[in-house]
């Protein structure tokens, strides 16, 4: 392994220690996939720690249930240790490696890139219509957006950003998978891959073994899982809205903006609402969660991503509401800038958790099929 791929030695040692404790105890095995997976192991190399850490949702159940949590002398903070290992593993798998700093300062990265996106689109708009074009009120007629911004330029920018993000995420995923020693084919095309995808999507293990999990406090609650579903659904609907719009544009030769009751606008509005409400709820829970269970160093990463989702959604909704006013030009640039930042930061922000969780769950599904060691 390259030095950059190693966990900090104290973290690896602590990871091994907590795994040994849990493996000798096993009381939490009903909560999630982490425990059954660790019970298959007799020793915990770094690759095992990274895999196990990425199975964990940091739901908090095992913190409250642990008889070895502080003030016990074992000072076991299992979920926090896993969170630290998870963060370190994100660092290991950033591609290109030179951009690891972006991920390390995820919150700041999101802010700077949003500003850069805004400036880029303002510049493109100014280049097309000058100051007068930017601030003029607009008729709510098809093609108004493109009077401001060349469709070609817009597509080019987003295509480049999308390809970049997809490539970087895929390389990170490949690096993660290589560490597991599993076959590449199994990651994308296997029954285990289907199982892992489905388990990741439905947040199967964010449920405390049934009945919700201990987040933001001790009382089992389905709140986080529901809000996460809402967020993902919002994201999915916005994506669907954009895809339908592309079909309208290229297939039906209908340029944006579309009428209020058209499919892209309805999908986008619902999606935008989900992306406002879901992250708002998640942020609210985050404020109230127990600091003992988390790795405080990651708050910026989490918050940066959630706020960016909300800003992108919020400006999208505003743009729709104010598209006949003089604010449209600026709002369009703002919205597109934020969406661009969202794309570009996907491999360098909280979004990566989805990719690695998927991979970890695929591996879990693969392991479940294999005979397990004696108990």
Partner 1 sequence: MDWARTYDVLVVGGGNAGLCAALSARRAGASVLLLESSPRELRGGNSRHTRNLRCMHDQPADVLTGSYPEEEYWEDLRKVTGGQTDEAMARMVIRRSATCRSWMAGHGVRFQPSLGGTLHLSRTNAFFLGGGKALVNAYYRAAEALGVDVAYGAEVRELELTGGRFLSAAVTVKGFGNRARARTLVAAAGGFQGNTAWLREAWGPAADNFIVRGTPYDDGTVLKLLSGAGMRTVGDPTQGHAVAIDARAPRFDGGIVTRVDCVSLGIVVNKHAERFYDEGEEFWPKRYAIWGRLVAQQPDQIAYAIIDAKMPGTFVPPVFPPVEAPTVRELAVALRLDPAALERTVEGFNRAVRPGTFDHAVLDGCATAGLSPPKSHWARRLDTPPFAAYPLRPGITFTYLGLAVDERARVLAADGKPSDNVYAAGEIMAGNILGKGYLAGIGMTIGTVFGTIAGEEAARHAAR
Ramachandran angles phi, psi of 61, nearest 5°: -55, -45
Cβ-proximal residues to 284 (8 Å cutoff; 6+ apart), any chain: none
Q: From ligand SF4, partner 1, none, which one binds at residue 36 (CB under 5 to 8 Å depending on kind)?
A: partner 1
How many whole angstroms from its chain centre is CA 335? 20
Kindly tell me which of 64 and 343 has the beta carbon lying closer to ligand SF4.
64
Interatomic CA distance for residues 233 and 343, integer angstroms? 17
Q: From ligand SF4, partner 1, none, which one binds at residue 72 (CB under 5 to 8 Å depending on kind)?
A: partner 1
Interatomic CA distance for residues 370 and 136, integer angstroms? 66
Q: Is 314 in the site for partner 1 (CB under 8 A)?
A: no
Give the tokens for residue 216.
Answer: 């933001």
Q: From ligand SF4, partner 1, none, which one binds at residue 78 (CB under 5 to 8 Å depending on kind)?
A: ligand SF4
DSSP class of residue 250 equals I
Q: Among residues 2, 10, 73, 132, which is the contact residue for partner 1, using CB under 8 A?
A: 73
Q: How far is the CB of 123 from ligand SF4 (least distance, A)?
A: 45
Q: Torsion angle of alpha carbons 164, 169, 171, 172, nearest 10°?
A: 140
Quick note: the x/- pattern for partner 1 over 26-65, rule CB under 8 A, is: xxxxxx----x-----x------------------xx-xx
Kindly tell me which of 20 and 128 has the beta carbon lying closer to partner 1.
20
Q: From partner 1, ligand SF4, none, which one binds at residue 308 (CB under 5 to 8 Å depending on kind)?
A: none
Contacting positions for ligand SF4 (CB under 6 A): 21-22, 25-28, 31-32, 34, 56-62, 65-68, 76, 78-79, 82, 205
Kindly tell me which of 80 and 323 has the beta carbon lying closer to ligand SF4.
80
Size of the site for partner 1 (CB under 8 A): 36
C-alpha R_g of the chain: 23
Interatomic CA distance for residues 368 and 192, integer angstroms? 9
Kindly tell me which of 25 and 120 has the beta carbon lying closer to partner 1.
25
Q: Is 23 in the site for partner 1 (CB under 8 A)?
A: yes
DSSP-assigned states of every residue in 29-87: TTT-SHHHHHHT-SS--HHHHHHHHTT----SHHHHH-TTSTTSTT---HHHHHHHHHH
The residues that touch partner 1, with contacts defined as CB under 8 A, are: 20-21, 23-31, 36, 42, 61-62, 64-74, 208-211, 218-220, 373-375
């Amino acid at each position: 392994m390259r030095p950059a791929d190693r966990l900090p030695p104290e973290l690896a040692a602590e990871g091994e220690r907590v795994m040994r404790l849990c493996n000798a105890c096993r009381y939490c095995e009903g909560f999630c996939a982490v425990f059954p997976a660790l019970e298959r192991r007799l020793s915990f190399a770094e690759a095992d720690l990274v895999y196990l850490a990425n199975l964990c949702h940091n739901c908090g159940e095992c913190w409250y249930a642990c008889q070895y949590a502080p003030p016990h002398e074992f000072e076991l903070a299992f979920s926090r240790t896993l969170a630290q290992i998870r963060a370190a593993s994100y660092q290991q798998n950033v591609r290109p490696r030179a951009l690891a700093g972006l991920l390390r300062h995820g919150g700041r990265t999101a802010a700077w890139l949003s500003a850069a996106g805004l400036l880029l689109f303002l510049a493109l708009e100014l280049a097309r219509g000058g100051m007068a074009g930017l601030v003029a009120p607009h008729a709510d007629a098809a093609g108004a957006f493109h009077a401001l911004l060349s469709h070609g330029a817009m597509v080019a920018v987003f295509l480049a950003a999308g390809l970049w993000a997809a490539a970087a995420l895929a390389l990170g995923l490949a690096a993660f998978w290589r560490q597991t020693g599993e076959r590449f084919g199994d990651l994308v095309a296997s029954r285990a891959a289907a199982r892992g995808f489905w388990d990741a999507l439905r947040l199967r293990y964010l449920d405390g073994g049934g009945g919700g999990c201990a987040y933001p406090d001790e009382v089992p609650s389905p709140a986080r899982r529901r809000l996460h579903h809402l967020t993902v659904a919002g994201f999915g609907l916005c994506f669907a809205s954009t895809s339908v719009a592309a079909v309208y544009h290229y297939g039906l030769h209908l340029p944006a903006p579309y009428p209020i009751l058209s499919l892209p606008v309805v999908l986008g509005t619902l999606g935008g609402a989900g992306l406002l409400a879901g992250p708002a709820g998640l942020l609210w829970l985050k404020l109230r969660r127990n600091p003992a269970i988390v790795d405080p160093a990651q708050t910026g990463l989490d918050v940066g991503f959630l706020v960016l989702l909300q800003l992108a959604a919020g400006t999208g909704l505003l743009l729709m509401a104010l598209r006949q006013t003089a604010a449209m030009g600026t709002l369009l640039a703002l919205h597109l800038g934020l969406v661009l930042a969202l794309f570009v930061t996907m491999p360098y922000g909280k979004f990566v958790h989805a990719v690695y969780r998927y991979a970890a769950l695929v591996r879990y599904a693969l392991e479940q099929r294999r005979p397990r060691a004696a108990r």
